[in-house]
Amino acid sequence: METNNDKKRGPVSENVTDILKERDRLDQILRKEYRKEVTIVLTDICGYTSYIDTRGDISGRVMLLKHNELLLPEIKRHNGKVVEMVGDAVMASFSSQSDAVKASIGIQKILRDYNNKKETREKIQVKIGINYGKVLVDDTALYQGFTGDVANVAARIQSQAGPDEILVSKTVYDKACEDDEILMRFYKAIPLKGKAEPVEIYRVVWQENESLIDVDQTAVPSESSISRHRAKDPKGLFQLEIARDGDRLKLSAYEQIPGEESTIRHYEEVPISMDMVKTKCRNMIDTLNKTNRSGCLDKKALNHLKQTGQMLYDELFSLGVKEKLKKTRAEYLSLKIDDYLVHVPWELLFDGQQFLCLRFNMGRLVKTRQSMPAARMRKMALPLKMLILADPSGDLKGAYKEGIRIRDHMDQQRDLINTFLDSGNITADSIKTKLRSFDIVHFAGHADYNLKDAGDSGWLLSGTNLKARDITKMIGVTAMPALIFSNACQSARTEEWLQNVYFKDEIFGLTNAFLLAGVRHYVGTFWEISDEHSSHFALYFYKNLFSGRSIGEAIRLSRLSLIKKHGEDAIGWASYALYGDPTFSYQEQLETAEIREKPEHRPPSGIDQDVRTREEVIDFSQKESPKKTRVWVAMALAMILFVAVIFWGYPGMMREPSQDYEKTILTLYNAGDFQEALGACEALEKKYPEACLAYLIQGHIFL
């Protein structure tokens, strides 16, 4: 039986259905038209609560005004918009992840410059968290209450940061990593409430010294430095030290046991004719330059190359050294030579059975009398950043294809390495601007060696060339790339590094320039090489290097791969020389860096860092301001002071600060004129030193 109430409600099922349909329609409108992808940046002043507790409210307001004056213009400059300001925290939105990261870097750099001029207690340090996702927006306005999960995750990421740090989510990293001006490293993965999988966090490397290894740069790395990141279980290391003393060579040959260094070593002296050595070296290079169009030597030329290599082997090595080389089972050969001997093609010395570069994983370490600039080695972590300069002069199609092949291969390992390809219209200035932002640089193009002026040697680009002397001008506190592969004709060729007494800054070609600038490993060529052979060699080198091989083994396996495909007479395999420790494993260093625990953040002296221990996700809108956290303390103090006034009186205490100052400060602050408000604050503090106390009694505390 139908009741009156049922009549009043009407056809319930039809009303509910209509409501649900309308709700679904509105939800679709919201999703399509009002939910947009934005990047949220959260900043927070480190130690702000402790600062105002010890220095007072007015000082805290002055700091906050200065903070806003420095930060807000930088946000605007990078197309960002301030969404909300709560206490000492700022939420800003950006349409581009790259802009958000660059704005954060700009903020940290501005604060660094400001702090360098301030005492410790006056410094302003912020930590920044960045996340990317969909939020509710209306035209250009972003609703403060609808940033939801995006802001919550950004707040959680920010809580992991320390002073001066910028941490970003993987969603930000995936897009921002495509900007070749931004360097980021994997930080860690953190569990997050409501998320099935841990959230990966990346750290933005924005300070120059963050990319450096804190050790002195020397011509020959110490044994501890060499062994730190050797390939796992290298099968023997044969050390061969050679120094020239006039018309004699001093040679020391021994097998190195990792972690053990002999206190005393035997060396031998052998007489040599440097004129004969120079003649044979140039004869060898002339032979190699006579390849046919396919980059191959005929049998006669190949035999002549072996004969010349054996003659140099006999001339340069003593009987004792040759016996040790014959008996050793070591796979690695570390050749330590002085700067008078770099022009010798040691890799092509022939022992009667094999060329040295095919028998050993081989690398050169050079001792030089040149003054060593204060360049330091680059510190690397996941993911690496690689720049490919392919066909910069625009006339080598083979070099361009080489760059494409390497990039495509590297793109299969995005978690390991981010690769950027530049081609055509590349200038020296553009390279100098970005070179130090990368861990690895691969050059595929033309190189020129100037026999009369080695400092003029360099990479041939569009219009201007990058010369050896230009590279040495880049030496400074910022680290150069760890690895440079100059896959260009004659990019490793060099004469003796004969330093002129009167010209101490003389440069001896690309190799010398890059090594002096702090490059850890340099791979280059001695002579002309065909595009097909150089491309094959380079691709297999990177495949081997990032499959866990040491750099020396990656070079040797690439030589053998080229021989297997094209034959021994395809002499491209003989063109390459490696400068640097051949046992070094990039994969090993990355694994070591990945498992290394991050040290706890310690607040700078004089500033107590805010501590937040809650594990749950904190909504930005629920962030407590310092005013709210101290309200009960303020009330208690007010009561105590009120009692003191009643019983003893304190006329001076009740004197109000100027109402004009108060109104001026609040008006300027609300209008966004932070510089003017800051000046009014300072004037108030000078004229009314007791202002903070009077404000406390009257309840006029403003933060």
For 49-62, the pLDDT digits (tens) are: 888 888 888 888 99
Task: Check residue 484 and give its pLDDT.
Answer: 95
Question: Per-residue pLDDT for 331 more than 50?
Answer: yes
**Phi, psi angles (nearest 5°) of residue 270:** -130, 140
Task: Check residue 96 and give its pLDDT.
Answer: 93
Q: What angle do CA 354, 360, 364 make, to 5 degrees?
A: 115
Question: Per-residue pLDDT for 597 more than 50?
Answer: no
Q: How far apart are CA 631 and CA 248, in angstroms?
A: 85
Reading the block at residue 352, the tokens are: 């009667």
Task: Check residue 513 and give its pLDDT.
Answer: 86
3-state helix, strand, coil in the chain (%, to 5): 45, 20, 35
For 529-559, the three-class secondary structure string (H helix, E strand, C coil) is CCHHHHHHHHHHHHHHHCCCCCHHHHHHHHH
| pLDDT band at residue 552 under the 50/70/90 scheme | very high
Question: Per-residue pLDDT for 37 more than 80?
Answer: yes
Q: Which of 280, 297, 287 is nearest to 530 (CA)?
A: 297
For residues 331, 336, 341 and 346, what is the CA-based torsion angle, rounded to 10 degrees? 0
Reading the block at residue 662, the tokens are: 């108060």
Rounded mean pLDDT of the chain?
Answer: 77
Question: Per-residue pLDDT for 92 more than 90?
Answer: yes
Task: Check residue 31 and give its pLDDT.
Answer: 58
For 514-545, the pLDDT digits (tens) are: 888 889 999 988 777 788 888 999 999 999 99
Residues 6+ apart with CB under 8 A from 611: none
Q: How far apart are CA 301 and CA 291, in angstroms?
A: 9
62-66, 225-229, 479-483: which range is least confident on average? 225-229
Reading the block at residue 676, the tokens are: 């003017």
| pLDDT band at residue 293 under the 50/70/90 scheme | low
Task: Check residue 144 and give its pLDDT.
Answer: 44
In terms of average pLDDT, the best of 16-20, 26-30, 316-320, 486-490 is 316-320
For 199-252, the pLDDT digits (tens) are: 899 999 988 766 555 433 333 333 333 344 455 555 789 999 999 998 999 999
Q: Cβ(249)–Cβ(316) under 8 Å? A: yes
Task: Check residue 259 and give its pLDDT.
Answer: 54
Task: Check residue 370 and give its pLDDT.
Answer: 72
Sign of CA dihedral 251, 254, 258, 263: negative
Q: Which of 681, 625, 630, 700 is nearest to 90 (CA)?
A: 625
Q: Cβ(344)–Cβ(257) under 8 Å? A: no
Task: Check residue 509 and give its pLDDT.
Answer: 78
Sheet with 332-338, side-by-side order of all strands = 268-271, 248-256, 237-245, 332-338, 361-367, 576-579, 521-525, 483-488, 440-445, 384-390, 417-423
Please state the rounded mean pLDDT for residues 79-94: 91
**Phi, psi angles (nearest 5°) of residue 439:** -80, -35
Q: How far apart are CA 276 and CA 270, in angstroms?
A: 14
A 10 A CB-CB count for 497 gives 22
Q: What percent of the chain has pLDDT over 90?
A: 35
> How far is CA 83 from each of CA 30, 91, 143, 621, rounded to the nearest angstrom?
20, 5, 8, 11
Sign of CA dihedral 135, 136, 142, 144: negative
Question: Per-residue pLDDT for 485 more than 70?
Answer: yes
Q: Which residue has the higher pLDDT, 235 or 65?
A: 65
Task: Check residue 148 and give its pLDDT.
Answer: 65
Please state the rounded mean pLDDT for residues 365-387: 79
Global confidence as pTM: 0.71
Task: Check residue 590 and give its pLDDT.
Answer: 78
Place of tokens 């066909």: 391
Q: Is 607 exposed, middle or buried (0-12, 13-18, 19+ CB in 10 A)?
A: buried
Task: Check residue 264 and give its pLDDT.
Answer: 65
Instruction: Give the three-class secondary structure for 587.
Output: helix
As beta bridge partners, residue 93 has: 40, 81
If phi over 0 gives left and psi between -120 and 50 gives alpha, with beta otherwise, what is residue 672?
left
Question: Per-residue pLDDT for 687 more than 90?
Answer: no
